[in-house]
């Protein structure tokens, strides 16, 4: 993209991000918050796609973040920012530990492995009623606040979520542009060569995988403290699949792709809400049409042919 | 070129749809929107469609009479129904949409406990009135704007178990089966307590997952305890039918009771008329009565499935709400409407008077007591065999 | 109780074999992880409903017709959707997920969300050494085993089967030998989806049908296929027995959630330590 195009894109992004403040409607804020939360999950999945491994366990990591944050804030009495950080550390640590073993598996086997892992994480929430509350989930999760500043009102929470998305994007861009990104690209270009130069590529992939779990956990923590209620089925493989579809719709080659996808897919069911009976069919058909006719996603369309 | 047209068409569709959603906010002056929030798809759909059907029948009636008279205005009632897919997060989104763009202040539903508990903080804060049939004990606690439209296990279990003891003196050993979630835990706990108090032994208590259809392993365990009667509790009726069939096939000869959400048509459909013979449950109406026939005919105009007894609950709840709004003389001052509803007891329900209670158990008199029948399945149809006396 | 455990295990295992067979066949031949497999099971169940209960055809004829419907839909999907994603394992997986949503939505739009009322052609039980076996479940298991045997014959004793196995081993080499993948692919999809349709049509009278019934079916097929090794038919048969035992045993002793947890644990362990499945060479 040229410099002018970049500027236009940045302006458009800013306009979309600020639009809910202009609309000022409670429901628009609600949908915008869900776009931010689900968009973060899509970004987390995007990171795993960047290491060439489709992880279907990201919904599970979002669940780990949500449950950890909820339990830390509600039962351990930690303030929201600390609960959020705690949830991120826990999810990232679990991913790093698992990554040592599971990242050795590649390709479709990795997708299936993480499919099993994602289902297993949710079943753990269902089976162990103490402390996770079983199918009933956890309720009475304290609303988010930053010190004395309450984030309970929707506009305030949206502002916070927006800031978080922005910071996460900066961090992810840094990660992909920095050493790990370079290592990963050289691996993609010439794996034997970079191996012979002694790069410990598994360690780098593990770092990116842990980062992806951390982003998923942020998404989970925001979800828990926004809704005040969580239950296991919100984090099953279906949630990951939705995030995956966001990446496909938005374009997997672009960092903005998952967010573009979230921006389209989160409000989409709302458009079909009046026709309950046909809602799923219309949704499915739109997805199939997008995949068949726009295989590089809408993001790919906007970016032109400059990136593969 | 073709590509371009495709893209343009796609963008246009999305844009026009968004514009449509925004335009929906501009509404006609003389219309009052009433929300329905229920499970309209999937396994819990029978109950969700009952909310919707009951609300629409009541709305049709009031509209046929020239609308709702509030002060010197007459409102046409419009039902706006959204699906919560039995999921808490979907319920929150649907409620936000009802309360926001649709401007709804009064909602019938939901039934799922998870859905209700998830939206409760918002409805209490934003003063939205809910008429729910969710059975969790936590529903009415610390709430001002929630009414429960019918009796729950808490209210009827002592009476139904007393009936069982009186009519089936040989029954000593009870097994109970319930769903593995808030609704099932809560009702099973109350049933176990009530059976124990009545001097009957609960020899097995099992939980199943809502999407489960294969109960052979669960029943192997349950039947090993040699129960005389199996209490199906709040199990969704289609699931209850599968359990009945599979238990009979594994050689169970005893009684089945379903004291909690009965639906003869659904149970007969999944169990088969032979296996369903003799199953006892509770019902909000008498399937042989003229009231049932009248509602059934009205219900068929809106939904294709066979009407269940929950339609009585929500038809009466909607009429109660309309009466409350007319009596309060306002459709916007929610506190006044709630007060007017509280003061309208006893309200003439379809099969008998509705009264209020619940202060002792829940701290607020928002539990509605309705007449309740005992129904047995005979040759594939429900026959009333008694009436439950609630206090 | 132990006799009952054996009965449940054996009856389940036969159905699991049938569920997994089509899934693993499609993967073996096309390298497509068909996440819409459960929806073809569901299509079979609904097709049985339409043929048997709406059109009034007898069960014996309705059963193969239902499977045929699922197979035909499979061919159409292969042609319109999956063929564009050949060689793209991840891409085909994603498009299968979208197809699953669409098929579920289509059935919901036509039939509504309530399960249809499906007549039961077989009833009654047989008692065997202290265990009770419902006749309809016995019939379903027996037909499933016959279908497994027939599929095996198809693969080893026919030209089409030979072509499928050749393409599964090396698509490029098979093409050079004059075997056209553009006919083997639809054939594999037809057989795989018809097998799924049979599974749906066999179990629908027993457990009923609903638009979301495919989710549970997919989970079972997935676990069996991974445990047995992707694309391996003998592996799938052994794994189906294993899953039958695991499911019945843990469900009787504890609860079905723990059984599901254990089966996913086994899936993870197999993929980590024996990715070619329990029969494969690690």
Domain ranges in chain C are: 13-211
Over residues B197-226, the pLDDT tens digits come to: 999 999 999 999 888 889 999 999 999 999
Check residue B385 and give its pLDDT: 94
Q: What is the pLDDT of residues A145-154, one digit of tens each?
A: 998 999 988 8
- pLDDT at position A259: 93
Burial (CB count within 10 angstroms: exposed 0-12, middle 13-18, buried 19+), residue C92? buried
- Residue B176 backbone phi and psi in degrees, to 5: -120, 145
Q: Alpha carbon B302 to chain centroid distance?
A: 17
Nearest-neighbour CA in chain A from B378: distance (Å)? 34
Residue-level pLDDT at A305: 44
Whether A99 shows a pLDDT value over 50: the answer reads yes
The answer to whether residue A308 is domain-embedded is no
CATH code for the part of the protein at B153-283+374-388: 3.40.50.2300
Interface A–C counts its CB contacts (< 8 A) at 110
Q: What does the pLDDT average to over B319-328?
A: 95
What's the average model confidence in pLDDT over C87-112? 89
Whole-number pLDDT of residue C135: 92
Interface check for A289 against chain C (CB to CB < 8 A): the answer is no
Q: Please, which residues bridge with residue C128 across strands?
A: C131
- Please tell me the predicted confidence (pLDDT) of residue A306: 41
User: Å from C167 to nearest chain A CA?
Assistant: 19
Number of H helices, E strands in chain C: 11, 2
Mean pLDDT, rounded, for C74-80: 94
Put simply, the answer to whether C94 touches A291 (Cβ < 8 Å) is yes
pLDDT of residue A189: 64
pLDDT score of A303: 59
| Record: contact C208-B238, CB cut-off 8 A | yes
Q: Is residue A98 part of a domain?
A: yes
Does B251 sit within 8 Å of C114, measured CB to CB?
no
Question: A164-172: which pairs have CB atoms within 8 A and are 24 or more residues apart?
Answer: A164/A36, A164/A40, A164/A218, A164/A222, A165/A36, A165/A39, A165/A40, A165/A259, A168/A40, A168/A43, A168/A215, A168/A218, A169/A43, A169/A255, A169/A259, A171/A211, A172/A43, A172/A46, A172/A47, A172/A211, A172/A215, A172/A255
pLDDT value at residue B1: 42
Contact at CB, A228 and B121, closer than 8 angstroms: yes
A24 within a domain of the structure (yes/no)? yes
Tell me what percent of the residues of chain C surpass a pLDDT of 70.
99
Q: How far is C215 from chain B (nearest CA, A)?
A: 10
User: B74-94, pLDDT tens digit by residue?
Assistant: 999 999 999 888 788 789 889
Any CB–CB contact under 8 A between B97 and chain A?
Answer: yes
- Between chains, do A115 and C230 touch, taking CB under 8 Å as contact? no
- ipTM entry: 0.86
CB contact residues (below 8 A), chain A span 222-251, against chain C: 241, 244-245, 248
Sign of the alpha-carbon torsion through A173, A177, A179, A180: positive
Q: Which A-chain residues 51-80 have CB contacts (< 8 A) with chain C?
A: 54
pLDDT at B26: 40
Distance from CA of B148 to the nearest CA of A (A): 20
Residue A101 CA to residue A97 CA, distance in Å, equals: 8
> Mean of the pLDDT values across residues C10-20?
95
- Residues A137, B114: C-beta atoms closer than 8 Å: yes
Tens of pLDDT along C229-273? 888 888 999 999 999 999 999 999 988 889 999 999 999 999 888
How far away is chain A from the Cα of B78, in angstroms, using its nearest Cα? 13
B211/C134 CB distance under 8 A: no
Binned at pLDDT 50, 70 and 90, residue A270 comes out as: confident
Please give the pLDDT value at position B391.
58
Say what the pLDDT of residue A245 is: 86
User: What are the pLDDT digits (tens) for B231-262?
Assistant: 999 998 889 999 999 999 888 999 999 998 88
Which candidate, A1, A194, A179, A209, places its Cα nearest to that of A105?
A: A209
Mean pLDDT of A109-126: 93
**Among A55, B85, B179, residue whose Cα is nearest residue C104:** B85
The CATH homologous superfamily for domain B28-150+290-351 is Response regulator (3.40.50.2300)
Q: Which chains touch C (3 or more CB pairs under 8 A)?
A: A, B
Identify the three-state secondary structure at position B205.
Answer: strand
Helix axes A80-102, A107-127, angle to 10 degrees: 130
pLDDT of residue C161: 87
A98 close contact with C: CB closer than 8 A: no
Give which of C102, C110, C226, C243 to mutate to test A binding, by max A Cβ within 10 Å.
C102
**Is the pLDDT confidence value at B28 over 60?**
no
Which residues on neighbouring strands pair with residue B204, listed in sequence order? B175
Look at residues C100, C89, C97 and name the one whose alpha carbon lies nearest to residue C30.
C89
Mean pLDDT of B341-352: 90
| Closest Cα in chain B, distance from residue A119 (Å) | 15
Q: Is the model's pLDDT at A126 over the cut of 90?
A: yes
Nearest to C136 by CA among C217, C204, C49: C204
- For A276, the closest of B41, B185, B209 (CB atoms) is B41
Contact criterion met (CB below 8 Å) for A265 and A248: no
The helix (H) or strand (E) run that includes residue C133 is: strand C131-134
Q: Strand runs (DSSP E) across chain B, as ranges?
A: 31-38, 68-70, 73-83, 106-108, 129-132, 146-148, 173-179, 201-208, 229-231, 255-258, 280-283, 347-348, 353-357, 367-369, 372-378, 381-388
Which structural domain, as residue segments, surrounds residue A188? Answer: 3-303
Residues in chain C within 8 Å Cβ distance of A132? none
Of C12, C208, C257, which is closest to B213 when you measure between CB atoms? C208
Determine the pLDDT at residue B30. 81
In a domain? residue A94: yes
In sequence order, what E strands does B214-261 have? 229-231, 255-258
Nearest CA to B131 out of B162, B102, B106, B167 is that of: B106
| In the predicted structure, residue A225 carries a pLDDT above the cut 70 | yes
Closest residue in chain C to residue A110, using alpha carbons only:
C271
Q: CB-based contact (8 Å) between C94 and chain A?
A: yes
Across chain A, mean pLDDT equals 87
Identity of the residue in A109, A120, A287 whose CB atom sits nearest the CB atom of C265: A120
Mean pLDDT across C135-161: 93
Query: Mind listing the pLDDT tens digit for each residue in A150-197?
Result: 998 889 999 999 999 999 999 999 998 877 677 767 666 666 665 665
* CB proximity list for A305: less than 8 A, separation 6 or greater: none
Triad A231, A235, A238: Cα angle to 5°: 125
Spell out the domain ranges in chain B: 28-150+290-351, 153-283+374-388
From C190's Cα to the closest Cα of chain A, the distance in A is: 21
Q: Which of A27, A223, A292 is most worth mutating to test chain B (most B CB atoms within 10 A of its CB)?
A: A27
Statement: residue B366 has pLDDT above 50? yes
Helices (H) and strands (E) in chain B, counts: 14, 16
For an interface test with A, give the residue of C93, C97, C106 to mutate (most A CBs within 10 A): C97
Closest CB to A231 among B17, B25, B114: B114
- Asked whether the predicted pLDDT for residue A75 surpasses 70, the reply is yes
Residue of C nearest to A279 (CA): C105
Task: Say yes or no: B104 contacts chain A, CB-CB below 8 A.
Answer: no
The secondary structure of residue B388, as a DSSP letter, is E
How many CB contacts within 8 angstroms connect chain A with chain B?
84
Tokens of B276: 């369903």
Q: From the candidates B18, B21, B86, which should be mutated to test the interface with A, based on the most A CB atoms within 10 A?
A: B21
pLDDT attached to residue A139:
84
Mean of pLDDT values over B38-48: 80
Q: Which of A199-213, A214-228, B68-82 has the lowest mean pLDDT?
A: A199-213
- Tell me whether residues C105 and A285 touch, CB distance under 8 A: yes
Between CA C203 and CA C45 the distance in angstroms is 8
Extract the tokens encoding C11: 């009856």
CB contact under 8 A, C113 and B45: yes
Kindly report, residue by residue over A1-58, the tens digit of the pLDDT.
Answer: 567 877 888 888 888 888 888 877 788 898 999 999 999 999 999 999 888 889 999 9
Q: Which residue is listed with tokens 């109406």?
A: B285
Q: Which two tokens stand for residue A67?
A: 């449950």
Report the range out of B302-316, C53-67, C104-118, C245-259 with the highest average pLDDT. C53-67
Distance in Å, alpha carbon of C58 to nearest chain A alpha carbon? 31
Q: Does C212 touch chain A (CB under 8 A)?
A: no
Q: What percentage of chain A carries pLDDT values higher than 70?
A: 89
Distance from CA of A39 to the nearest CA of C (A): 18
- pLDDT band for position A198 (cuts 50, 70, 90): low
* Whole-angstrom distance, CA of residue A124 vs CA of residue A142: 23
């Amino acid at each position: 993209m040229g410099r002018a195009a970049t500027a236009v894109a940045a302006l458009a992004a800013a306009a979309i991000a600020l639009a809910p403040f202009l609309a000022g409607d409670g429901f628009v804020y609600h949908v915008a918050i869900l776009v931010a939360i689900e968009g973060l999950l899509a970004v987390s999945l995007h990171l795993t796609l960047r290491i060439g491994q489709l992880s279907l366990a990201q919904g599970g990591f979002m669940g780990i973040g949500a449950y950890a944050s909820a339990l830390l804030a509600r039962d351990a009495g930690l303030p929201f920012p600390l609960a959020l950080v705690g949830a991120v550390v826990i999810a990232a640590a679990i991913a790093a530990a698992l990554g040592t073993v599971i990242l050795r598996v590649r390709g479709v086997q990795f997708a299936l492995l993480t499919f099993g892992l994602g289902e297993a994480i949710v079943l753990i929430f269902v089976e162990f009623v103490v402390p996770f509350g079983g199918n009933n989930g956890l309720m009475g999760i304290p609303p988010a606040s930053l010190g004395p500043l309450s984030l309970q009102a929707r506009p305030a929470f949206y502002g916070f979520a927006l800031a978080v998305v922005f910071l996460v994007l900066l961090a992810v861009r840094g990660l992909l542009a920095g050493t790990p990104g370079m290592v990963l690209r050289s691996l993609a270009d010439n794996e034997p060569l970079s191996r012979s130069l002694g790069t410990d590529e598994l360690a780098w992939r593990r770092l990116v995988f842990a980062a992806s779990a951390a982003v998923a956990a942020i998404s989970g923590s925001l979800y828990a403290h926004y809704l005040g209620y969580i239950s296991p089925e919100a984090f099953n493989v279906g949630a990951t699949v939705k995030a995956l579809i966001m990446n496909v719709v938005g374009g997997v080659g672009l960092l903005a792709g998952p967010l573009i996808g979230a921006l389209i897919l989160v409000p989409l069911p709302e458009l079909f809400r009046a026709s309950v009976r046909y809602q799923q069919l219309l949704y499915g058909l739109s997805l199939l049409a997008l995949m068949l006719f726009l295989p590089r996603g809408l993001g790919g369309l906007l970016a032109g042919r400059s990136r593969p | 070129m073709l590509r371009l047209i495709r893209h343009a068409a796609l963008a246009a569709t999305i844009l026009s749809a968004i514009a449509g959603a925004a335009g929906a906010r501009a509404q006609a002056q003389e219309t009052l929107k009433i929300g329905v929030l229920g499970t309209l798809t999937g396994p819990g759909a029978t109950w969700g469609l009952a909310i919707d059907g009951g609300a629409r029948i009541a709305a049709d009636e009031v509209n046929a009479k020239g609308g709702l008279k509030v002060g010197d205005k007459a409102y046409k009632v419009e039902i706006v129904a959204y699906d919560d897919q039995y999921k808490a997060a979907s319920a929150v989104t649907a409620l936000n949409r009802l309360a926001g763009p649709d401007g709804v202040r009064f909602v019938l539903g939901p039934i799922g406990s998870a859905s209700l508990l998830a939206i409760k903080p918002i409805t209490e804060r934003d003063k939205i009135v809910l008429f729910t049939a969710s059975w969790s004990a936590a529903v009415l606690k610390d709430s001002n704007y929630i009414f429960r439209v019918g009796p729950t296990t808490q209210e009827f279990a002592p009476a139904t178990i007393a009936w069982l003891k009186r009519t089936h003196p040989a029954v000593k050993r009870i097994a109970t089966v319930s769903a593995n979630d808030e609704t099932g835990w809560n009702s099973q706990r109350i049933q176990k307590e009530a059976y124990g108090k009545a001097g009957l032994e609960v020899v097995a208590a099992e939980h199943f997952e809502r999407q489960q259809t294969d109960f052979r392993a669960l029943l192997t365990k349950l039947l090993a305890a040699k129960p005389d009667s199996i209490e199906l509790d709040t199990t969704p009726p289609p699931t209850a039918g599968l359990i009945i069939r599979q238990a009979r096939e594994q050689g169970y000869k005893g009684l089945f009771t379903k004291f909690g959400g009965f639906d003869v048509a659904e149970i007969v459909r999944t169990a088969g008329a032979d296996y369903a013979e003799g199953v006892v449950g509770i019902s909000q109406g008498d399937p042989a009565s003229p009231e049932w026939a009248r509602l059934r005919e009205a219900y068929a105009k809106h939904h294709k499935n066979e009407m269940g007894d929950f339609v009585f609950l929500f038809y009466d709840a909607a009429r109660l709400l309309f009466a409350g709004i007319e009596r309060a003389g306002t459709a916007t001052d929610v506190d006044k409407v709630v007060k007017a509803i509280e003061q309208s007891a006893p309200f003439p329900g379809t099969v008998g008077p509705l009264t209020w209670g619940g202060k002792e158990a829940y701290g607020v008199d928002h539990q509605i007591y309705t007449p309740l029948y005992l129904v047995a399945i005979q040759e594939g149809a429900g026959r009333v065999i008694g009436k439950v006396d609630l206090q | 109780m132990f006799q009952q455990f054996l009965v449940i295990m054996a009856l389940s295992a036969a159905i699991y074999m049938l569920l997994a067979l089509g899934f693993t066949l499609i993967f073996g031949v096309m390298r497509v992880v068909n996440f819409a497999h459960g929806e073809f099971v569901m299509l079979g169940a609904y097709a049985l409903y339409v043929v048997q209960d709406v059109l009034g055809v007898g069960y014996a004829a309705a059963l193969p017709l239902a499977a045929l419907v699922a197979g035909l839909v499979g061919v159409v999907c292969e042609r319109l959707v999956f063929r564009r994603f050949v060689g793209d394992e991840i891409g085909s997986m994603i498009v299968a997920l979208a197809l699953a949503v669409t098929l579920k939505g289509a059935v919901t739009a036509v039939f509504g969300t309530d399960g249809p009322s499906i007549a039961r052609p077989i009833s009654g039980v047989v008692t065997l050494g202290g265990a009770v076996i419902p006749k309809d479940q016995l019939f379903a298991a027996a037909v499933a085993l016959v279908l497994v045997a027939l599929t095996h014959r198809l693969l080893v004793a026919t030209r089409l089967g030979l072509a499928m196995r050749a393409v599964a081993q090396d698509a490029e080499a098979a093409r050079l030998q004059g075997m056209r993948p553009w006919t083997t692919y639809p054939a594999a999809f037809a057989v795989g989806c018809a097998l799924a349709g049979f599974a749906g049509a066999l179990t629908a009278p027993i457990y009923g049908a609903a638009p979301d019934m495919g989710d549970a079916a997919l989970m079972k097929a997935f676990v069996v296929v991974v445990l047995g090794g992707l694309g391996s038919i003998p592996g799938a048969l052994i794994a189906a027995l294993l899953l039958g035992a695991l499911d019945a045993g843990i469900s009787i002793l504890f609860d079905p959630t723990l059984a599901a947890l254990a089966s996913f644990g086994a899936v993870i362990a197999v993929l980590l330590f024996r990715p070619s499945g329990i029969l494969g060479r690690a």
